[in-house]
Structure 1
């Protein structure tokens, strides 16, 4: 039995994410293996971050993979808040005064939001 991993392009299509063009992956043409059309997932995720996010963040495919792994870990950990207290919600007040706690509120409390860092 032979196993093969799906290409980055196949995963992007399955997720409904924008698919990198062959031009985005033109450096792979020199290998004459069609890698610019069917790119190994690990390379695709790195290139996607470079093309879509200037290498500063993960792109849609890489970000989704990481997020789903973390969510899966939380869901399968019998001691996580997801399992122990699934209805738990943060209680700190939101900076926007909306009554909803957002990611920026967590960053503000931690002192790492853009305003705290002078950005």
Structure 2
């Protein structure tokens, strides 16, 4: 027959093992989330978070003619990565500057994204 002292030790050890197992299981998703959080955002994600408020689907909710469609980009000489990146970096008129919000690489990536989307008419 098992004594009360032995039973208490067995129960304590079992609870300790279960607690450690649950702690380990619970920490695995957080590690996975931490790995995901350190991935750099894609150009589409950066555009969606910073540009789509005014330029959803390549449009321009403030000045319709100055949209991000290929025809308008050519008309306003914004049909190169360098020119778009310059505008995003420095802003112009109502278009704000993003040099303090986005890295240089993010700006270049977004400029390339805008050109590629314009080529497919934002589809």
The structure with more helix, counted as a fraction of residues: 2
Higher alpha-carbon Rg = 2
With normalisation by structure 2, the TM-score equals: 0.22
With normalisation by structure 1, the TM-score equals: 0.23
Higher relative contact order (CA 8 A, sep 6+): 2
